[in-house]
A = this chain, B = another copy of it.
């Protein structure tokens, strides 16, 4: 089954202690699609400016991503500039220029409205809810968020969560949203807010899946060389949602394997700037890394 993602397509400028890049292809919907495509057909809805390089759009198309929902608006593309320290975590934002993304008002085509699996990437919860209302017969709807929305639009977000099947967030966001310091308690709290499954992203420490009567803890895959963590969370979500859209049943086994594939795919995202490595990954690269991951964690 196909999956619809609504989020950002951006131009990133990133500095790490080892290298830097300028105006490379980024954005939540981009990373998400590039991971999900291995598991299910993906349609992307986002907005870019007229300055958006044609080569970037062609890359997405060439990888089989449906870009009919990529809108071009007069103005500049959303730009983010960030810098990582030696810990390669929590980048310092140098500049955020929302540009055409500041008035993003996604129009969902008749065909896209029929998509039954939907991911609402980190955008204003008001927009997330509007998109959700267009979906005719949802099977699986998930969203991501960030501390900015928890702080500035909490009630909107809480309202949205009632209609979500899966909620992706990181540890500090889970604590901030619930006021619980225990991640177990925070996840239980969030599940009572609506989502059947809560997936806590822990970056280099792996992830936690909380669902009906069970918890699943995935350690991170170990990489010797981390190049740029930008997009890892969206890549993770892309693989998780791609797997689930392709799964016959949304049972425990499907959810667990989806989170494992999410972990695997995110390791490719962090091995280069932008989508350089992620875009060239093959099925066999993925399965090879899965086998290594099993060896790394099995006891």
Contacts and interface: CB of A to CB of B under 8 A. Distances in A.
Nearest to A297: B217
Contact of A208 (B88, B208, B222): B222
A215 interface: yes
A172 B220 CA distance: 18
A218 interface: yes
A217 B220 contact: yes
A295 B222 contact: no
Identical chains in the assembly: 2
A219 B217 contact: yes
Interface residues of A, number: 33
Contact of A224 (B87, B185, B206, B223): B185
Given A205-B202, A205-B205, A183 B299 contact: no
Nearest to A208: B222
Interface in A111-154: none
Interface string A282-297: 0000000000001111
Q: Across the A-B interface, give the 3 residue pairs with the lowest CB-CB distance, nearest first.
A: A205-B205, A217-B219, A184-B224
